[in-house]
Amino acid sequence: MLAFVIRRVLQALGVLLVVGFISFCMFQFMGDPVEGLLGQEATEEQRRELIERLGLEDPIPVQFVRFVGNAVQGDFGLSYRLARPVSELILERLPATLELAFVSAIIAMALGIVLGVFTAINRSGFAANFIMTASLIGVSLPTFLIGILLIYVFSVQLGWLPSFGRGETVEFFGWRSNLGSWDGLRSILLPAITLGLYQMTLIMRLVRAEMLEVLRQDYIRFARARGLSERAVNFGHALKNTLVPVVTVTGLQLGSIIAFAIVTESVFQWPGVGFLFIRSVEFVDVPVMAAYLLLIGALFVVINLIVDLLYFVIDPRLRSDRAGSH
Footprint of other proteins (CB under 8 A): 217-219, 221-229, 232, 236-237, 240-241, 314-317, 320, 323-324
Task: Kindly tell me which of 195 and 246 has the beta carbon lying closer to other proteins.
Answer: 246
Task: Kindly tell me which of 5 and 323 has the beta carbon lying closer to other proteins.
Answer: 323
CB-based contact 187:166 (threshold 8 Å):
yes
Task: Kindly tell me which of 11 and 229 has the beta carbon lying closer to other proteins.
Answer: 229
CB of 37 to other proteins, least distance (A): 57
Task: Kindly tell me which of 30 and 128 has the beta carbon lying closer to other proteins.
Answer: 128
CB of 84 to other proteins, least distance (A): 51
CB of 241 to other proteins, least distance (A): 6
CB of 248 to other proteins, least distance (A): 15
Task: Kindly tell me which of 93 and 237 has the beta carbon lying closer to other proteins.
Answer: 237
Task: Kindly tell me which of 199 and 241 has the beta carbon lying closer to other proteins.
Answer: 241
CB of 69 to other proteins, least distance (A): 46
CB of 231 to other proteins, least distance (A): 11
